[in-house]
Amino acid sequence: MDNDKESGVAYWKANLSLVKWSLVIWAIVSFGFGIVLRPLLSGIKIGGTDLGFWFAQQGSIYVFLILIFFYAWRMNALDKKFGVDEE
Amino acid sequence: MDLQTLTYLVVGSTFALYIGIAIWARAGTTGEFYAAGRGVHPVTNGMATAADWMSAASFISMAGLIAFVGYDNSTFLMGWTGGYVLLAMLLAPYLRKFGKFTVPEFIGDRFYSPTARLVAVICLIVASLTYVIGQMTGVGVAFSRFLNVSSEIGLFVGAAIVFAYAVLGGMKGITYTQVAQYCVLILAYTIPAIFISLQLTGNAFPQVGLFSNTLADGVPLLTKLNEVIGELGFASYTGHHSNTLNMVLFTLSLMIGTAGLPHVIIRFFTVPRVADARWSAGWALVFIALLYTVAPAVGAMARLNLVDTIQIGQVGAPDGNLAYDDRPDWFRNWETTGLLKFEDKNGDGRIQYYNDASQGFAAKAEEFGWKGNELDVNRDILVLANPEIAQLPNWVIALVAAGGLAAALSTAAGLLLAISSAVSHDLIKGAYNPNISEKSELLAARIAMAASIVVATYLGLNPPGFAAQTVALAFGLAAASIFPALMMGIFVKRINNKGAVAGMLTGLIFTIVYIFWYKGWLFIPGTNFAPDTPDAWVFGISPLSIGSVGALLNFGVAYFVSNATEEPPQEIQDLVESIRIPRGAGAATGH
C-alpha cells in the first residue's frame, strides 16, 4: 500500500514536470516568438517578412502539434512505467 | 451545368449523406446519447472535434479578419489552436477518467456543491446559446447567397437537418455526421486555396506559398502585399500596430476559452480510454491545423487579389482604377447581398479603394481627386467570394457553399448537445428528479434537444442586435469561470466548495462587468459607462481580452478562500487521486 502511494506520488510528479516544460515551450513559441520577442527575431528573414511573423501565423501551430503528440507518447510510457495504465 | 443547379446538387447530396448517417446511428441509451457509448476511435473523435470546433466563424470569417488587419490578428490563429495544448495536458484525460456525462456534473461532484454545478450550468447555457446564434445566422446567409432561397427558409431547412440527426442520434449521430461534415468543409476550404496559391506563387501548398515569391514579378508575396496596400495608405500587413499587452491577453483568453468551452470538452468523453483522450486532442489539432495554417495564406492572397482587381494601374493615374461598369461578375453577385457596396463619391465612374482614415495619405488623395474610400467590403465575404475572385470552376464554388453549411451545422449540433445534456442531465436528473429512469432521461434528453433547436432557430431568425458582440461573452465566461474551476479541481486538491464557488463567481462577475462597462449593460446601446475605444480601456485591455484576467482572479480567490477554510472531505480527496491515474477508466463507463 505504502509502495503504491509512493509510486503514485512519483507518477504525478513526473506528469507535472512534463506538463510544466511543455507549457513553457507552448508559451515561448506563441506569446514569446510570435508576439513579445518578435523584435529580437526581426533579423531572421523569411519570405518577405521575419521569423516572428512566421511563428505567429504558422510555426506556433506546428509546435503545438508536436507538443501534444510528444506529451501523449511520454504519458502513455509513464502510465506503463508506474503501472497505472489501463489494462 | 449552371452554377445554381450544381450548387443544389452538391449541397443536396451532402444533406442526404447527413440524413443517412442519422438513420444509421440512432442512440438507444443515455450513454449513447450523451457520449456515443464511449466507443469512438481517437482519430474519428479528433475529426469530429475539429468539425465541432470549427464554426461558421472559423470557416467564413477568420481569413477575412486576418486579410484586412494582417499580423495583429494572428491572435486568432494562435489562440484558437493553443487551447488544444491546454485541453490535452490539463483537462481532457482527467475528465475522461472521471467518466461522467457533462461538465457541470464534474464541477458539482468535485466541489460537492449543487451551487457550483448550477453556476456551471448557467455559464454553459449562456456561452453555448450565444454561440449557436452565430451558427444559425451563418446557415441563413449561406442559403440566401448560394441557393437563392430566403434566409428564413434556409434556416428551417438547416434546423430540420440538425433535428434529424441530433434528436435521433444524440452524441452518436452527431459524431458521425461531424466526421462527414469535416471532410466536406476541409475540401471546400483547401481546394480553392491550393488553386489560388498555384495561380499567385506556383506553389501547391498555401502554407509555403504565403512565404514564396509571386509568379508575376518574383518578389515575396508579403513584400508585394505590403507595397500595394502601402501605396493606398493602409498600414503594413506584416507590421505590429496594436498594443502588445492586449495582444498577449487576447491570445491567452482565446486559448483558455477554447479549453473551457463545454461543447469541445464533452467530445473527449466519447473515447474508450484515457490514453485515447490524449491522442485524440492531438488528432483534433491535426485536423484543425489543416484549415488554420491555410487561413492566413487565404487571407493574404485574397487581399492581394482584391486590390489587384480594383487598382488595375498606377495609383493616382486617371485610368488606374477599375471602371464601375467593368466590374466582374462576382462583384455584381455580392452587391445584391449588400455585403459589398460601392458609392461613387467623386463621380468619376471608377472605384477607389484606399484608406481614407490615414492622415498621411489624405494630401495624396486630394491631389488625385479622390473624395473618400468608395468600396465597402464586408470581411465575411472573402472566403465565400474567393473562388469567384480567382475565377475557379463552378464546382469549386458549389463546394464552398456546402463547406460553409457543414461548418455551421456541425458546430450548432455540438452546442445543442451541450445545452440539452446540461438541461436533461444536470437540471432534470441532477437537481429536480434524481430517480428518473434511464428511459425517461433519454426521452427528456431528446425533448431538451428539440426545444434547444426551436430556441436556436428562433434566435437565428430574430438575432438580438448584440449577436456579434456575444462571442466575447462566450469566451469570457468559458475562460474566467469554467476553465479555472476544472483545472483547479484536478490539480489542486486543497480547493474546497467555498473556494470554488467564490472563485467562479468572482471571475464571472468581474468579466461580465468589464464587458458590459464598455459594450453596454446587456449590450443595450447607450448604457455603457465608457466608450469602447483603446484609450478608454484599462491599460489598453479590450473587453474581448478580459477573460484571461478574470481567470487569474478566479484562481487567486479560489486559492485564498480554500486555504482560509476547511479541507475538502476525505472522499473528495480520494476522488481527485483517482482521476489523476488512468487505471480503471473502463469501469466508469457503466454509469
Give per-residue pLDDT as tens, B290-313: 999 999 999 999 999 999 999 998
CB proximity under 8 Å: B 92-111 to A: 93
A22 and B85: CB-CB below 8 Å?
yes
Residue A86 lies in a domain: no
Among B174-178, B259-263, B473-477, whose mean pLDDT is lowest?
B473-477
Domain range annotation of chain B: 3-301+391-589, 302-385
Instruction: Give alpha helix (H) positions in chain A.
Output: 2-27, 51-54, 60-81
**How far lies B233's CA from each of B292, B359, B378, in Å?**
29, 9, 19
- How confident is the model over B2-54, as pLDDT tens digits? 888 898 999 999 999 998 988 888 888 889 989 998 999 999 999 999 999 99
What is the pLDDT, as a whole number, of residue B591? 43
Residue A21 lies in a domain: yes
Q: What is the mean pLDDT of chain B?
A: 90
Instruction: Assess whether pLDDT exceeds 50 at residue B223.
Output: yes
Residue B349 CA from chain centroid, whole number: 39
Beta pairing, strands A49-50 & B340-342: unpaired
Q: Mean of the pLDDT values across residues B273-277? A: 94
CATH code of domain B3-301+391-589: 1.20.1730.10
**Element holding B342 (H helix, E strand):** strand B340-342
Residue A5 lies in a domain: no
Q: Is the dihedral of CA B340, B346, B347, B349 positive or negative?
A: negative
Query: Residue A7, class by beta-carbon neighbours within 10 Å (0-12 exposed, 13-18 middle, 19+ buried)?
Result: middle
Residue A24 lies in a domain: yes
Q: Mean of the pLDDT values across residues B236-255? A: 95
Residue A77 lies in a domain: yes
Q: How far is A85 from chain B (nearest CA, A)?
A: 5
Instruction: Assess whether pLDDT exceeds 70 at residue B470.
Output: no
Q: How far is B275 from chain A (nearest CA, A)?
A: 6
Which chain A residues have any C-beta within 8 angstroms of a chain B C-beta?
8, 11-12, 15, 19, 22-23, 26, 30-31, 34-36, 38, 46-50, 53-54, 56-58, 60-62, 64-65, 67-69, 71-72, 75-76, 79, 83-87
Residue A6 lies in a domain: no
Substitution target from A11, A49, A50, A75 for chain B, most B beta carbons within 10 A: A49
Read off the pLDDT band of B238 (50, 70, 90).
very high
Is this prediction's pTM over 0.90? yes
Q: Mean of the pLDDT values across residues B410-437? A: 90
B497 and chain A in contact, CB less than 8 A: no
Percentage of chain B lying above the pLDDT 90 cut: 61
What is the pLDDT, as a whole number, of residue B244? 95
d(CA B23, CA B261): 29
Among B104-113, B179-188, B281-290, B453-462, whose mean pLDDT is lowest?
B453-462
Provide the ipTM. 0.96
> How many domains, in total, are found in chain A?
1
What is the pLDDT, as a whole number, of residue B589? 46
What is the pLDDT, as a whole number, of residue A66? 98
Residue A9 lies in a domain: no
Of B77, B90, B212, the CB nearest to A47: B212
Of A38, A67, A84, the CB nearest to B581: A84
Among A57-66, A78-87, B232-241, B379-388, whose mean pLDDT is lowest?
B379-388
What is the pLDDT, as a whole number, of residue B472? 67
A56 and B71: CB-CB below 8 Å?
yes
A69 and B274: CB-CB below 8 Å?
no
Determine the Cα angle at B469 with ends B463 and B472, to 5°: 130
- How confident is the model over B62-106, as pLDDT tens digits? 898 899 999 999 999 999 999 999 999 999 999 999 988 999 999
Chain B residues whose beta carbon lies within 8 Å of the beta carbon of residue A11:
581
Q: Cell 500500500 sits at which residue?
A: A1
CB proximity under 8 Å: B 233-272 to A: 238, 240, 244, 247-248, 251-252
Cell matching residue B112: 460537492
Q: Mean of the pLDDT values across residues A14-22? A: 97
- How confident is the model over A44-67, as pLDDT tens digits? 999 889 999 999 999 999 999 999
B298 and chain A in contact, CB less than 8 A: no
Q: Cell 460553409 sits at which residue?
A: B404
Instruction: Assess whether pLDDT exceeds 60 at residue B195.
Output: yes
Instruction: Give alpha helix (H) positions in B338-426.
Output: 359-368, 381-389, 394-421
B219 and A48: CB-CB below 8 Å?
yes
Of B77, B240, B584, the CB nearest to A38: B240
> Residue A66 belongs to what domain range?
16-81
What is the pLDDT, as a whole number, of residue A1? 46
Cell matching residue A24: 513553457
Query: Residue B308, class by beta-carbon neighbours within 10 Å (0-12 exposed, 13-18 middle, 19+ buried)?
Result: middle
Percentage of chain A lying above the pLDDT 90 cut: 79
Chain B residues whose beta carbon lies within 8 Å of the beta carbon of residue A51:
none
What is the pLDDT, as a whole number, of residue B588? 47
Percentage of chain B lying above the pLDDT 70 cut: 97
Residue B377: beta bridge partners? B340
Instruction: Assess whether pLDDT exceeds 90 at residue B265.
Output: yes
Residue A35 lies in a domain: yes
d(CA B290, CA B288): 5
What is the pLDDT, as a whole number, of residue A21? 97
Of A30, A50, A86, the CB nearest to B582: A86
Instruction: Give alpha helix (H) positions in B236-273.
Output: 244-260, 262-265
Q: Mean of the pLDDT values across residues B209-226? A: 94
